Structures are given as C-alpha cells and as structure tokens.
Structure 1
C-alpha cells in the first residue's frame, strides 16, 4: 500500500474547450508541461516502444517496424550478443542529453541515470565503463561504482532555450507551440476559426504519468492529440502516417561509397511482385538495425529528410526549433547528424551519427592514501588525469576508433520485411520458406549493397510502414526483363512466341 499523503508528481495544464464540438481549441501551459513534450522528443525509439508496451498491456501501439525490432532484441539470447551489456543497452537505450530532463518535475522514464564503474584496481588501471559487466584491461570485472562531481558530457550544456525561465505557452490541438501573449492567443483563435468565446469553457487539469503516456501514444496516432488524450482518454492504435519515397537525387548522390561504408546482403524476392520477403545478412546489417532503437525521436524525424508524416511529431519538432530560435539559442539537433553515447559506436555505422567519448577526469580531491577506498570521484573539470573508457561491447579493453557491434561476429541472420530479426542458428531455411507458403520457382535471390542514403531510407520506412525492406530497397531490386516463351503452332506450322510481363511492384 502506498504511504498515506504521498502523491505522484503532476504538472498543470489549462484547456480551452469548445463544448459543442467536445474539442480542445487550445491549451495554456507552463514550463513544466512543455518539458514533458520536450522529453518525448529526446526519448530513444527503443524506450518509446518499451514505455508504450508497459502503458497499454492489452493492445499496445505498434511503432512501425521498430516494435518488431525491439521484440527481436527481447527474444534473442544473451549468447547471440557480443556481451551482456549489448542486450542491456538496446533494451534500455540511454540518451546523451539525459541530464536535460532528469530533474524535470514529471520524469517520463524513471530508469537509472548514467553510472560509471571501475575495476578493483581502478586507481592503477584508470579505466571506466558505463556497465558493471565490462572487463578491464587487467581482466577484472568493472563492478565498482565511481561517484561523480558535476557529471555531464562535455558535448552538452545545461537546459536552456525555452526552459531558461518560467514562462507560459500556447499549444494548439495539433501540438504547435507558441509563446503566450494576448496577440498570439487572439491570432490562434482566428486561425482555427473560433471567434465566439462564449461557446468556450476553461478547465485546469493536473497531468500525471498515466496521462503523459496516453499523450505520447496520441503523438503518434492522432491528428488531435490534446482532445483524444484529455477529453476522450484514448488513442487510435492505427498510426496516422504518410511515407514518401525519396526522390532520385536523394537516392543517388553520385558519390561512390568506400568498401567500409557499405553493407551487402542477400534479398529473397518474390517474383510475382518483386517484394522482398526477407534478407539473409551478417552482423553489420543487424547492428545497423539495432542502432535505430537508440536514436532519439527528434533525430529519427530530422535525419529522415522530412520523408514521413507521423501523427503530430513534425509540428512538435518544428515548434521547439522555432522557440529556440526566438530565444536566440543554438538549435540542439540538425538534419545531418544525431549524437549517441560512445558505446553505440559500430564499425559500419552508415548513418550520420556522432558517438563522442565523455571527457572525465579524476578529481584532485581524491585521497590516494586510501588504497582500499571505493569512493572515487570523477569530474568534467581538468583536475587530474583523464579517464579512459572501455567498449562494453568488447570482452576486453578496445581503444580502436571503430567500436565492435552488438551481435556475435561471424553470425548469420534472417530479417523479415517487417524487421523481425532471427539468428540463423535458431531457424532453418526450410522453416522460413515453408512459412511463406510459396513455390521455390517463385523466388529468387538478389545481392543488395547499401550505403548511407539507403540506410536513411530504411530508418524512415521502419518508423511508418509494416514492410520496411521493400519500401526502402525496392528501387535496388533488379526488375526482370520480358521473357519470351516459344511454342509450336500446329495450325500455322511455325513457332509461336508468347511474351510474359512481370508486374511492377
């Protein structure tokens, strides 16, 4: 039983409601509620999938093919990954800007903060890791937690922009944000065609974690998230989505990719419509797919090149950019890159992702005379020797620029069109083919090579379609030419040529 008098944190929201239409016209919100919206955008996609599954047990929202991708990580065995930490970092992906929202009034994802660990001989080895299962260069398990002083990544700043001071905002039902003022209020009412204020009523709500999760659902599925969340208390389980295939100029930039910047795999294609049923691939392609789970929502939308329309995510992203610009602050994300913690670094990243290693130094305040002390202190200030970080995806210290991948090296996988990943050692080719109930003559195998452009297409397609591979790589499939079938015509006493056309997908 919960302790008496203990209350869940809530944030307030003032709704202006059209009573006749039972619809939210707009909302007036303070900084606390806007922080909730900001948190949505900074959550990694894997975290969003997990939170939505926990929130809606009966029929959770399916986030494109990313839900299948996350479920694949859950179902795969530890032995399928390089280390135990690999599975953990995919099931509970961390955001490099976590310190921006960890102290918000309503914490959407109350998982543990970044922690740092060293081995028993940390004072000698000077090696650290964010996972307590990593092995130090000396061979010892790094399970001694290290305390922090002013811990923050050197690549990020304190929360600024729209959160720099207490202020209020106007939020429309489609999640467009503007600064609150009389002129903005009147203009918003005018824009939505609601000028008779006598038909409107005001209601103040106190939003807790449950309501916030429903709003997160509606962010993906609804064209009117505020109305569906706070008046109807429900959301559709079918996403409102539009996926536009990239133009030829985006697909082919004319630059030949280097061998270490491409991934090749076999696509099993159905001849009838040239649809990709599944692919057989190595670890590099699976590492690329699993990286999608660590990318924050706003970065997923940004680097997709605006090829998708999904719920009201676009409105929210654009609003924060505009508000930050009005505040004179630097916009935190760009269309060309996103930033992930260092341990998501893979040998073949393909996507425009930065994975900076934290700059942490041993504090001068540490007393080296306490040889058995476990209370080491790290700081971002250059007070002493800089600490080195091990790659938790490796069994031993790995200082190479390119990190190892998540899954076992040398392993083969099958990936279905809707991104269900299965190790080949746990399924046979026969069982896969039998599942599709198709004759072998109707199948063909084509080798596909992808680079950065195709990887971006796949990221976009995985968010909004249920056939990510076919949508992203359809242009790479070689269409069969017309086949001529020659038979003998007994009447005319000469060969008869029949042309068979392949139907375009």
Structure 2
C-alpha cells in the first residue's frame, strides 16, 4: 500500500493491451480487495448518500433508489414514530460496520456504538440520545460502554484481512472477478483472453484512494469494464437505469419454512390511454416496505432479487466474494439487518439481529448507579455475582414506556408514491399540484384497487434497482389481470341477460 500523509492509498497494477486500449488484468493487494468487497456490505441508502456527496453536480442514478432515499430525507419528522426513526433510515447501519472499522481505507466511517440513559435513573437505556425515557426526559446522558466485541474487532490480528484471509495477492479481471494470484492463474487468464503475446502488453501503476473507490462504486452498477472506463477512458458512468422486464420471483422456500404471506392493498391511479400507473395512494405498511430497500446491503439486494438481473459487475463481485469465503458466508437467501431494523412489511428472506445484551453493577444507592455497561455478564472476578444485572435496550422506534416497537412511521400515515418511487406524505401533498406535476387531467385517470404480496414485493426490489418506473413495471400485470376479470364478468352478465330475455 502506498503511503500518503493525507489518506491511505493502495497500489493497483493494471496489465493493459495498448493496441486495443483495454485492461487485461489487474494485480491488487489484500487490502484493496477488502475495500472492494466492503462495497457489497454497504446498505443501498448509504451507497446513494455516498455517491450523491461524491458527485453533487451530477449524481449517479441507481434506478429508483435516488428518489426513494431523497424521499426519506425530505419527509417531515412528524411522520415518523420518533426522531431516531428518520436518523436510522438516512444513515442506515450495516451488520458489517464493525469489520469495516478494520479496513485500511473505509469510505463510510461510522461511530462506535454508544449508550444513553436519562438523568433520573429509570432503568431504561438506548443507543440514541434522542430517545425519550418513560419519565418524559431525553435519554441523553452517555454511559461508559465496555463493548468487548467492538474492541476485539478493532485490535484483531492483521495476519488475516477483513473479508479475505491470509496475506495473499489477488488478480482481478476488468469485470471484477477476483482470484488468488498465482503464476499459473495469470498464464491461463492471458491465454483465455487472447493476450499470450506479452510483448503487446504494458503496465500502469495507480494510486487508489477514497475518490477512486467512490468512482468505482458508481461505475460497478452499469459497466462491464469499470477499470477500463475509469482509468483508461476516464469515462464517468451516468447510472444504472435500463430496460427491465417483470418476471416471477426466483427466491424459493420449502413449504414448512415459508413466511406467512402479508397482503397490502393500494389504490393505483392509472392513465387510461396506456394503463400506466402514475402513482398510488397507500398506508404506512407499503411505504415501510420501500424503506426496507434502503437498509438492505448491496450483496443482499442482488441475492434477494433472485440473481436474475443484469447489474454491471455486481454479480461477479458477489459470486467471487462467496467463493473466496465459502465457509463463512451466510445462506444466499438470508439477509441480516442490524437490531431494531424491523419493518411493518419487509421482503421474505430478511432477518433482524437481536439487540445486544448489556450488564451493569447494581449498588444499593440508586444515585450511584451511573456505572458503565458491559457485554460480559460473567464478571464475578471483579464484582459479586448477585450484583450483576442484565440491561435491555429500548427500541429507538418506541415511544413512552414501551421497550419494543414495530415500524418507523406513525400509524395511519397516508402517502402518495409516484412511479419512480418518490414518496410524499398526503398531509403535505396537494392532489391538484400532483396532477399538474404529472401533466394529467382528472378525466384521463381511473382508480384501480390492487393487492400486493411477497411475489410483487420481490419484483419491486428488482425493478427499483434497474428502472426508473418501478410501479408500472412491476404492477402492470395486476392492473391487466383485474381489467380482464372485470371484462370477463361483464361479458358473463351480458350473456346471461341476453339468454333470459
């Protein structure tokens, strides 16, 4: 890794076919590959935020995710159960945040987990200083937290990397397939790519820092040759929006493992001339389904969508990430979200981690209970065992004295969702202004009541990744089916009337 006084940088060696102006191979150190694979662990909302900050004048378009994320940012805090709810979505956490702290270059640095209580001891603790205690006070008094897992992750032996093990060097193809470097592998790659004549090949040594990694992050969604596009052609990707054809979900489950089907009803406002869905009116459950997309990490978004979409180099990265870490990776049908990221409706195959359990030392005098918390409940070496008390964290989405809660939005919240997944609270959205914005006349629209379940939810995630018209793309079949049923019913009634007369 190249040294810099400002930020860490990595050396990336490109093997270039000078005649054809293409990258044949790249040779990289373990630290660079760790950073590359860390991109897969980032929540989709985090990716949108990082890319918007990286290119503020011309942000990369990722299907409908830019609109979805911007809707959360713009939505008023009064729509959410608590102030922490909005914070959790604007800055979504990853279950891999602890591992990413060990990266030599971390493009998304996060704060250590903190714990708070109110100034009057009421026995409740929270990870958010904006949470309110049952007594009504803010829980903004920080408690010393002895998190042994956090310390272990920070000081782990450097013999192994963060996401790849050993002290290996790696070979990357231009479409970001990653392999452990060996002479035999390089020779085979050169032969298979038609570049056996090494006299025609040149080398370029690059310094890779935060700017280059963010540019690469924006490029992997749409390019099949990101190294060539970025470092040879200096081409800046315009986004990942492309044509998408709705298809049946590929996520399969055994019958005894199937999650209960949840159905949500929407009012779809359809343009008569082409049956395009302009927007839907819905309650908080459907909006939270869309919000859950923001919290899903990139790797899981690709896996949950059934691996059936073409999305730049994401597929190659996920496959090689899985192959290099076959024994340690979770099932490809499972996506783990951090604790408290449980939504009223979310995709099948998603689990939410249990919150951490902390312990404190109990004193007789409640005024002296401002002792630190620890994840180790077996501290009998230092304290009497009968004085060790378990502490449960309050769900930051809950209000009042309740410790747990479900959902981020307040109950009975009504929203409009445009075809491109721009979400607006109906309290702050004028119907007339909306129709003007869509350049639609009231006579041109008709209302269709449709119901979506897991199959449509999965297809909606797929479409959100690659198209700017997620609702029409995904739900058009439901509209067509409903119209056909109504037509068939009308034909049956008409036929029966004719027979009777």
Scaled by the length of structure 1, what TM-score is found?
0.85
Shift of residue 176, structure 1, vs aligned partner: 0.3
User: Hey, what does 2:225 align to over in structure 1?
Assistant: 224
> Aligned pair 1:205/2:210, yes or no?
no
> Aligned pair 1:135/2:132, yes or no?
yes
User: 1:343-422, aligned counterparts within 5 Å?
Assistant: 343-362=340-359, 371-372=367-368, 374=370, 376-380=372-376, 382-383=378-379, 384-400=388-404, 403-422=405-424
For 1:439 and 1:120, locate their aligned partners in 2 and report how far apart those are by CA, in whole Å: 57
User: 1:298-313, aligned counterparts within 5 Å?
Assistant: 298-313=299-314
Q: Tell me the secondary structure at the aligned position of residue 409 of structure 1.
A: coil
Q: Tell me the secondary structure at the aligned position of residue 111 of structure 1.
A: coil
Shift of residue 161, structure 1, vs aligned partner: 8.0
Check the 8 A contact 1:252/1:453 in 2, yes or no: no
For 1:369 and 1:184, locate their aligned partners in 2 and report how far apart those are by CA, in whole Å: 68
User: 1:115-130, aligned counterparts within 5 Å?
Assistant: 115-121=114-120, 125=123, 127-130=124-127
> Aligned pair 1:25/2:29, yes or no?
no
Q: Tell me the secondary structure at the aligned position of residue 64 of structure 1.
A: coil
Check the 8 A contact 2:31/2:161 in 1, yes or no: no
Q: Tell me the secondary structure at the aligned position of residue 13 of structure 1.
A: strand
Shift of residue 249, structure 1, vs aligned partner: 8.1
Check the 8 A contact 1:390/1:397 in 2, yes or no: no
For 2:465 and 2:206, locate their aligned partners in 1 and report how far apart those are by CA, in whole Å: 32
Check the 8 A contact 2:268/2:450 in 1, yes or no: yes
Scaled by the length of structure 2, what TM-score is found?
0.86
For 1:8 and 1:88, locate their aligned partners in 2 and report how far apart those are by CA, in whole Å: 28
For 2:214 and 2:420, locate their aligned partners in 1 and report how far apart those are by CA, in whole Å: 25
In the alignment, structure 1 segments of 5+ residues that lack a partner are 485-505
User: Hey, what does 1:104 align to over in structure 2?
Assistant: 103
Post-superposition Cα deviations, 1:409-433, rounded to whole Å, max 9, x if no partner, equal 2121000000000011111222222
Shift of residue 478, structure 1, vs aligned partner: 3.7
Q: Tell me the secondary structure at the aligned position of residue 299 of structure 1.
A: helix
For 1:15 and 1:374, locate their aligned partners in 2 and report how far apart those are by CA, in whole Å: 56
The count of aligned residue pairs is: 468
User: Hey, what does 2:328 align to over in structure 1?
Assistant: 330
In the alignment, structure 2 segments of 5+ residues that lack a partner are 380-387, 489-501
Post-superposition Cα deviations, 1:285-328, rounded to whole Å, max 9, x if no partner, equal 11111111111000100100112111110100001111112xxx
User: Hey, what does 1:427 align to over in structure 2?
Assistant: 429
For 1:208 and 1:60, locate their aligned partners in 2 and report how far apart those are by CA, in whole Å: 19
Shift of residue 73, structure 1, vs aligned partner: 1.2
User: Hey, what does 1:457 align to over in structure 2?
Assistant: 459
> Aligned pair 1:49/2:51, yes or no?
no
Shift of residue 144, structure 1, vs aligned partner: 2.2
Check the 8 A contact 1:223/1:240 in 2, yes or no: no
For 1:399 and 1:152, locate their aligned partners in 2 and report how far apart those are by CA, in whole Å: 24
Post-superposition Cα deviations, 1:128-167, rounded to whole Å, max 9, x if no partner, equal 22211012334332212233334448xx998878523211
Q: Tell me the secondary structure at the aligned position of residue 354 of structure 2.
A: coil
For 2:473 and 2:44, locate their aligned partners in 1 and report how far apart those are by CA, in whole Å: 20
Check the 8 A contact 2:413/2:425 in 1, yes or no: yes
Structure 1 window deviating more from structure 2 (178-187 vs 162-171): it is: 162-171
Shift of residue 79, structure 1, vs aligned partner: 1.5
For 1:129 and 1:82, locate their aligned partners in 2 and report how far apart those are by CA, in whole Å: 15
Structure 1 residues 160 and 339, CA, compared in 2 at 3 Å: closer, same or farther?
farther
User: 1:261-280, aligned counterparts within 5 Å?
Assistant: 261-280=262-281
Structure 1 window deviating more from structure 2 (242-251 vs 461-470): it is: 242-251
CA RMSD in angstroms comes to 3.0
Shift of residue 107, structure 1, vs aligned partner: 0.7
Shift of residue 38, structure 1, vs aligned partner: 1.2
For 1:274 and 1:250, locate their aligned partners in 2 and report how far apart those are by CA, in whole Å: 29
Q: Tell me the secondary structure at the aligned position of residue 144 of structure 2.
A: strand
Check the 8 A contact 1:52/1:60 in 2, yes or no: yes
User: Hey, what does 1:40 align to over in structure 2?
Assistant: 39
Structure 1 residues 264 and 350, CA, compared in 2 at 3 Å: closer, same or farther?
farther
For 2:431 and 2:35, locate their aligned partners in 1 and report how far apart those are by CA, in whole Å: 46
Check the 8 A contact 2:37/2:163 in 1, yes or no: no
Shift of residue 278, structure 1, vs aligned partner: 0.4
Q: Tell me the secondary structure at the aligned position of residue 16 of structure 1.
A: strand
Structure 1 residues 382 and 260, CA, compared in 2 at 3 Å: closer, same or farther?
farther
Q: Tell me the secondary structure at the aligned position of residue 477 of structure 2.
A: helix
Check the 8 A contact 1:149/1:378 in 2, yes or no: yes
Structure 1 residues 381 and 111, CA, compared in 2 at 3 Å: closer, same or farther?
same
Structure 1 window deviating more from structure 2 (369-378 vs 194-203): it is: 369-378
Q: Tell me the secondary structure at the aligned position of residue 104 of structure 1.
A: coil
Q: Tell me the secondary structure at the aligned position of residue 288 of structure 1.
A: helix
Check the 8 A contact 1:262/1:348 in 2, yes or no: no
Check the 8 A contact 1:282/1:411 in 2, yes or no: yes
User: Hey, what does 1:286 align to over in structure 2?
Assistant: 287
Structure 1 residues 228 and 13, CA, compared in 2 at 3 Å: closer, same or farther?
same
